[in-house]
Chain A
Amino acid sequence: MGSSAPGTAGVRAGGFLSRPGVRNPGFWMAAPAWLLILVVGLVPIVTTVFLSTTSEHLARPGQTRFVGLGNFVSQVFNGDFVHAVWITVLIAVGGLLLQVPVGLGLATLLARQFRFDRLVRSALLTPMMLTPVAVGLMWSLLLNPDIGILDQALTALGLPAPNWLADPGLALASVVVVSSWQNIGFVMLMFLAGLANLPRDPIEAAQIDGAGRWQVFRYVTLPMLAPIVIVVVLIRLIDAAKMFDLVLILTGGGPGSATENLNLVVYKTAFQGFAIGQGAALAVALAIVLAPLYVLWRRVTRA
């Protein structure tokens, strides 16, 4: 055995303790905190995976038995699950198609200073501060076909006044629009920060070379903003895929199952049906469906 540096007695070369981060005293000083987070984070996940293999039911305590992949077979590998995944994808992608262009457009406008720009910015950020439950209640009133102001205005203008939340297509569109209304402020804010930190030289060089405003935006600004766009898209995709309270309040997953996304299915199975084991299986499936998004996000943010 070779000589060891002072103060490293007992440390095996190449072992866990010899890693630079681990040898840092700060690593161990923070140990209570990260261990607590690990336990609080890991225990529910492990428990959920375990529960997904059992027949746990709140109304049948003491009758739980191991069912292996039985819950997955009955709850996940069927048309209803595929439908819920499809609805989740539609809500997520539909929201992106609305939020990214509009958010980017608003950010571009607000990047310049003009009168009342702070007031406009605050107004656009306000929906973000509301809880999804309050947003859902407010919009369910606005979209009510009998007393809602939207249909009353359309009727007054002589236009058709649809039943927004009773038609499957319109209900889905309503969820997308309401969610976008709430989150466009966040998207705008991210793009505003991105625009503020862009280097001015390439833009000025392009302007000197005679490029028009659209050309500067399309060929210079947008490529430089690409990393921000990717991060925003991923964050919004993950958020939209997890959406629950807004859908529950606005449509309840209806009409029928037209807006029933994955998270709502998990909630209904576990908490309305009391079938905890089946709900856990659906939750594990949801996590697996979202996992690629998280992996992608990690790669993008590391790059």
Chain B
Amino acid sequence: MGPLRSGWRAGALAWLATLALMGCAAAQPTTAPTAAPTSVPATTAPSAAPTSVRASTAPTAASTSTPATTAPATTSAPAPSAAGGRSISVVVVDGPSAEAIKALAPDFTAATGIAVNITQFDYDSAHQKMLLSIQGKAAAYDVIQLDQPFFGAFASGGALAPLDAYVTGSSAYDWSDIPASIQQYGQLDGKTYAVDLSSEPYVVTYRKDLLQRAGVAVPTTWDEYKAAAQKIRALAPDIYGHSTGVKPARNAWFWIQTLWSYGGDLWDSNYNPTVTSDAAKTAAQLQKDLLMFAPASTVTNGGDATADLFGNTDIGLAIQYAGYYSTLTDATKSKNAANIAFAPVPAGSTSATELQGWLIGVPSDSTKKDQGWQFIEWLLGKANVAKLVSAGAPAPGRTSLLQDPSLSQKYTIFPAILAGAQNGRTFPTIPEYPQIQDAIATRLGEILSNQSTVDAGLHAMSDDMTTILKDAGYLK
């Protein structure tokens, strides 16, 4: 037998062996969620790395501007098998809401017999992982926690199951107990795709003792806020007047709040960007001016680091999401807890409050939608929602909860949350909003670091937004 024939026979045997192995592997059941079949760019990097952190993420041990962990998703060990082997898979995102859900999940299992398998992601990789899984029809998750800036992309993309029938048909959940603006938080084109997990309007966080020392009242307008910050800063070299971390995209969130306060908006009714308006310039200049009264790390701080600094150093004022209430008033985490109080966000030429907070919904590819809703209904229904707050989660926007006298006395943030819920505004729900937010954050970063002037930076922002909106077909 010549060398070629023996080589061919050996090669054929190797082929058959490989095919047999591949066939065996394909026959094994997979448990891990698979990525969407959508190919990713060749230079895809690992989804590591948090950058800015949404409000109400757990404070890190050190006051850093980035969350401590960039580990891949952590999956808690599956709950003990419930009777009948029923289980659901719940995704949570780092923060107090996630910790509270994890703490309460065993109670749900005990009450319903449905085991809860929890997967936890860090903020910056959570939404892309969830969206890729859902669009790939992996049926990996039955309940997901998501942030409002991404809601439009998820809902428009068909990644969330409609919940109207569930919310309106549930006496335990009681849809009428949810304020209209909070209902709209998870709605797109009049349909409900997610419900409010936490209601976190922007609020003023202030140090009673430092305001008293500086002889300033709690500011109710942005001019008063800036003046108060300046006076507090003048008290001593190590006392600061203001601290709101402006790491991307936090700078965008803060700027949009002040933009709305001055009567401005991101675009007009025809989607023409309006970010070069006087209101936009005033908002950007205000953000820049306030940095003069802030610690140096403010420029690169996210929400956790801002909360850590505010709670443990001498800073008079900050604009924070209400979700940081539990962190700032916990004496074990905040040295200044006893002196911290909260007030509604200041007004400009008009009164507007940016309403943020987590949403929770059922993925459209879930095969256990009823059970997924059952979990949400149990968690956020009138009977158990106070337990969620007791477990450390920011309060959902439920009227009966926020107006409960005993709870309002215990959680002094509730009036501010209710006020925010009544005149709160949310980010646009178009699918391209994450891209637009990124463009806003980048250009604001250039303005705040003096790489460009306010005018030039806002014009560049307008050009970026025009490109995105044109590519998406909103603009001709």
Contacts and interface: CB of A to CB of B under 8 A. Distances in A.
Interface of A: 6-8, 11, 23-32, 36, 43-45, 47-48, 51, 55-62, 70, 74, 133, 136-137, 140-141, 144-147, 163, 165-168, 242, 244-245, 248-249, 252-258, 260, 263, 266-276, 278-280, 282-284, 286-287
A273 B51 contact: no
Nearest to B300: A165
Contacts of A267: 44-45
Nearest to A267: B45
A249 B70 contact: yes
B1 to A, nearest CB: 8
B4 interface: yes
Given A144-B64, A168-B449, A255-B446, A28 B8 contact: yes
Given A25-B4, A254-B445, A255-B449, A145 B296 contact: yes
Interface string B12-41: 001101100000000000000000101111
Given A140-B64, A147-B62, A263 B43 contact: yes
Contacts of A260: 442
Nearest to A25: B7
A274 B431 contact: yes
B299 A163 contact: yes
B151 to A, nearest CB: 10
25 contacts: A7-B4, A24-B7, A31-B14, A51-B39, A59-B159, A60-B431, A61-B135, A74-B467, A141-B64, A144-B300, A146-B309, A146-B313, A147-B62, A244-B43, A245-B46, A256-B443, A256-B444, A256-B446, A256-B447, A260-B442, A270-B40, A270-B44, A280-B41, A282-B41, A287-B43
A59 B434 CA distance: 10
B77 interface: no
Contact of B4 (A11, A145, A279): A11
A59 B156 contact: yes
A11 B131 CA distance: 53
B426 interface: no
A60 B135 CA distance: 10
A258 B449 contact: yes
Given A28-B14, A263-B45, 20 more contacts: A23-B7, A25-B3, A25-B11, A28-B7, A36-B18, A48-B42, A58-B128, A58-B153, A59-B431, A74-B467, A140-B65, A145-B296, A147-B62, A166-B296, A248-B45, A255-B451, A256-B444, A271-B44, A274-B435, A282-B41
Interface residues of B, number: 76
A94 to B, nearest CB: 18
B269 interface: no
Given A24-B7, A166-B299, A276-B38, A258 B63 contact: no
A29 B10 contact: yes
Contact of A44 (B39, B51, B313, B432): B39
A247 to B, nearest CB: 9
B154 interface: yes
> Is chain A's interface secondary structure helix, strand, loop, or mixed overall?
helix
Contacts, number: 234
A242 to B, nearest CB: 7
Given A11-B4, A58-B131, A242-B43, A253 B442 contact: yes
B138 interface: no
Contacts of A31: 11, 14-15
Given A245-B45, A252-B247, A282-B41, A32 B128 contact: no
Nearest to A274: B153
B217 to A, nearest CB: 28
Best-buried of A58, A260, A266 by chain B (most CB within 10 Å):
A58
Nearest to A24: B7
A244 B324 CA distance: 31
B357 to A, nearest CB: 20
Contacts of A6: 2
Nearest to A256: B446
Contacts of A168: 449, 451
Contacts of A61: 135, 157-158
Contact of B70 (A25, A62, A133, A268): A133
Contact of A137 (B38, B64, B472): B64
A274 B444 CA distance: 21
Nearest to B464: A80
A29 B7 contact: yes
Contacts of A74: 467, 471
A147 B296 CA distance: 10
